Structure 1
Amino acid sequence: MAYDFDSVISRRQTGASKWDTLKERFGREDVLPMWVADMDFASPPCVQQALIERAQHGVYGYAVRTDEYFESIMGWMKNRHGWTIERDWIASATGVVPALTLIVQAFTEEGDGVLIQPPVYYPFKRVIQAWDRKVIENPLVYRDGQYEIDFADLEEKAKQAKVMFLCSPHNPVGRVWREDELRRIGEICLRHQVMVVADEIHADLIYPGYRHIPFASLSEAFAASSITCAAPSKTFNLAGLNTAYTVIPNAALKARYEQMAAKASMGSINVFGVHAMAAAYREGGPWLDELIAYLEGNLRFLKEFFAQKLPELQVVEPQGTYLVWVDCRRLGFAKEELDRFLVHEAGLAFDEGHLFGDEGVGFQRINIACPRSLLEQGLNQLHDAVERVVRTRV
């Protein structure tokens, strides 16, 4: 490989949420963090160089979206996903979750229903409830080790909703939705006048054999009644640079979104983020290809480890993302017991499955975007704890 994904970079005491909030989040500092969705890899060299050059300028005043900003997004969407978008469709966001907050405020009223598909990224529910909207759930169906959409239930639930948060690819279960699935979602939402908000932040992290399809690219009708939320942050590990954006083909919807952003004073962008994103989208493709190959190796390593040493655990194999959803129910722990076991016996910080909804009880989300040596360390700690605590039960 031309790029180094094996070197362990110390992130402690760098203000990294993943590593420096362990005491507050898990009650201990001496756990191996494999929870929040950022990577323990350095961003691509092209990004680092762009940031160095911008830093050397020495003046870091208010930033605007340049031609390079728009062209990098349009080029990436066209070249990576086959989606031709227009400059006027792009609106900035400080993050995908802040964008969802603006969307809820702009397009719903108190008491309106917002549809989600649990077990799903937990800030979805938090945003909905924070603004006194009603959470409408269309739970995914777990069958034969994989997740599917209950379309009959979705049809009924759409009657109660004004907006649907579509997680595509899905976090945490790792599904990359097929075209026929996306079309059925879109047709149901059109039928019931539900606006689709597609969170496509993991769109670039797709394993071989699968393909991400931007929801809005499937038809003019879908594009006109949807908002796509995207960012290079997961792809290139830029979460701290506020590089999210929305794609809104419907001019009236875009104007409404931007009016709410202005009202909330959330229209500014990060002076470094602009340059980081442009460099990543312009030059980061080869790095991303190698990253996906490395993640695929990590996933294979984890699956083989579980098969050989931890058969009690079932991996829900992801089709995309660097997050692995693991069924831990055969360990026999109650909800909080499983959390305590992992932290205090295995010394591991995973994202607890129940955070993603009741359907996630007994599951854990593991972030495998780390050097393989750290992944191996974590899996060995998990095996030792299972051997010591679970397998010795009478």
Structure 2
Amino acid sequence: MTKYDFNQPINRLNTSSVKWELTKEIFGTSDILPMWVADMDFAPPIEVKEAIQNRVNHGIFGYTFAKASVSEAIQGWVKKRHGWDIELSWIKFHSGVVPAISTTIQALTKPGDKIMLQSPVYTPFFTMIEKNEREVVNCPLQLSNHRYEIDFSQMEECLQSGVKLFLLCNPHNPGGRAWTESELRQIAELCKKYHCLILSDEIHSDLIFKPNRHISIASLDESYQDFILTCLAPTKTFNIAGLQASAILIPNPDQRKSFEDTLAKQGLHGLNLFGLTALEASYRYGEEWLEQLLEYLTDNLETAKSFISKQIPEISLVEPDGTYLLWLDCRKLGLSDLELKNQLLQKGKLGLEPGPKFGPGGEGFVRMNIACTKATLLDGLERLKLSFS
């Protein structure tokens, strides 16, 4: 078995890295440790790099298409990792999950329609609704004992207002919840009752800490597949976001046709050659790498939990079921969000995602990316402590 060395530092400067090279533009200073945007500091599986290199060595990069083997790789991965039998005809491709969300909104709703989300949540959920001239309906999550829960009574009230589409984040970003079967069934039954479509963003579905497991909401009942679309991608899992490759599963043929028509209006007809190559190689050969990554991330999580509880007890960690993102509750520090940001940058020289970016309920929180070497993590934790000492 290949042993991957996730402790090996990789210099990402001068590679057009958003995370490492745009600190001045984003934080106003370049002398910080960036632990904010959701990409990892690890090289992807060897087989992915080899597959790309083989295409480079061929030397011709003309028009390309997604061979059946690409969809078959997705189908096999979803079956093996998540126990869900999907049909090849359901699979459509897009350059990323966020563009797929935008295309779905354009294809299946109209300007002025209500679209529901659950804050605090991934920022582009808000952006894609607003930029497409739809109305945001927020059904905020409830934080209880350092864990997010859904207020289903409130959700039903929101749906009764005429919501056309619900953007579900599973696993949840930034809260790290992998929603349970019971929770997902309640969501699906409510949306079914009120004729509301569901678009489930499952980009973090492979990044789950044991003994938790990811459940695709559309897999729970065949009838759900008529009104649920599912976004997935290898980009977070295997750290290949720059290659821009994702898939969306659309079982309903009418919805699939609307999605295809909207892509055609946008002039989009497929993924780039290297995105397709990396997507297939990731899902065919990346499992061993992923299992070792999950062990490393689990150790990083335990290290962070222990450090924060002992060294910075004023900060509480929202317990994650998955992802490599820590949602840190800093409200006991008694600081405003601006003061939190300034102390992190000026005292700790640490760049984290500010909570308000994730909408209502994010005030007093910050998000920290722990998909980095152990040395970087320890450095970041010390900087976090210094920020508030």
Q: State TM-score, norm by structure 1.
A: 0.97
Amino acid aligned to 2:325: L
- Alpha-carbon offset, residue 269 of structure 1: 0.5
Report the Cα distance in structure 2 between the residues aligned to 1:68 and 1:17, rounded to whole angstroms: 32
Gaps of 5+ in 2: none
**Does the residue aligned with 1:366 lie in a helix, a strand or coil?**
strand
Equivalent residues, number: 387
Larger deviation, residues 268-277 vs 117-126: 268-277
- The residue type paired with residue 154 of structure 2 is D
* Deviation at residue 266 of structure 1 after TM alignment: 2.5
Match of 1:354 among 353, 356, 362: 356
1:254-273 to 2 correspondences below 5 Å: 254-273=256-275
Q: Shift of residue 120 of structure 1?
A: 0.4
Residues of 2 paired with 1:14 and 1:216: CA distance?
A: 38
Provide the secondary structure at the position in 1 that maps to 2:280.
helix
> For 2:209 and 2:388, how far apart are their aligned partners in 1?
30
Work out whether residues 140 and 360 of structure 2, in 8 Å CA contact, stay in contact via their aligned partners in 1: no
Q: Which residue of 2 aligns with 1:18?
A: 19
- Structure 2 residue aligned with 1:320: 322
Identity fraction in percent: 44
**Cα deviation code 1:365-394 (max 9, x no counterpart):** 11100001001011111212322xxxxxxx
Partner of 1:74: 75
Amino acid at match of 1:260: T
Aligned to 1:392: none
User: Quick check: 1:342–1:348 contact (8 Å CA) kept in 2?
Assistant: yes
Decide whether the 8 Å contact of 1:94 with 1:266 is kept in 2: no
Q: Distance in 2 between matches of 1:366 and 1:266?
A: 34
Question: 2:147 aligns to what?
Answer: 146
Distance 2:260 2:347 in 1: 48
| SS at structure 2 position matched to 1:92 | strand
Work out whether 1:341 is the aligned partner of 2:343.
Answer: yes
SS in structure 2 opposite 1:15?
Answer: coil
| 1: CA distance, partners of 2:221 / 2:63 | 37
Unaligned residue ranges in structure 1 (runs of 5+): 388-394
What code does the residue aligned with 1:253 have? Q
Q: CA deviation at 1:267?
A: 2.6
Q: Does 1:303 align with 2:305?
A: yes
Q: Deviations over 1:132-191 (max 9, x none)?
A: 110001100001111100000001101231000000000000000000100000000000
Indicate conservation of the 8 Å contact 2:77/2:284, yes or no. Answer: yes
Q: Deviations over 1:109-132 (max 9, x none)?
A: 111100000000010001101111
Q: 1:56-67, aligned counterparts within 5 Å? A: 56-67=57-68
Checking the alignment, whether the CA contact within 8 Å between 2:343 and 2:388 is kept in structure 1 is no
Query: In the aligned structure 2, how far is the partner of 1:262 from the partner of 1:242?
Result: 18
Instruction: State the match for 1:30 in structure 2.
Output: 31
Counterpart-to-counterpart distance in 1, 2:106 and 2:182: 31
SS of equivalent residue, structure 1 residue 257: helix
- Give CA deviations for 1:60-104 in whole Å, capped at 9, x if unaligned: 122200122111000001111111111110000111000111111
Alpha carbons 1:81, 1:212 under 8 Å: kept? yes
Alignment partners' CA distance in 1, 2:76 and 2:373: 30
1:249 is matched with which residue? 251
1:353 CA drift (Å): 0.5
Q: What is the 5 A alignment of 1:89-108?
A: 89-108=90-109
- State the alpha-carbon separation in 1 of the partners of residues 246 and 31 from structure 2: 32
SS in 2 for 1:358: coil
Residue 127 (structure 2) pairs with residue 135 (structure 1):
no
1:278 CA drift (Å): 1.1
Deviation sequence 1:263-286 (CA, Å, 0-9, x none):
112332110111111111111111
Q: Root-mean-square deviation (CA), in Å?
A: 0.9
- Check if 1:171 corresponds to 2:193: no
What one-letter code is carried by the residue in structure 1 that aligns with 2:86? I
1:195-229 per-residue CA deviation (whole Å, 9 max, x = no partner) reads: 00000000000000111011111112211111101
- Choose which of 203, 214, 217 in structure 1 pairs with 2:216: 214
Deviation of 1:260 (Å): 0.3
Aligned partner of 2:46 in structure 1 is 45
Secondary structure of the 1:65 match is coil
Match of 2:157 in 1: 156
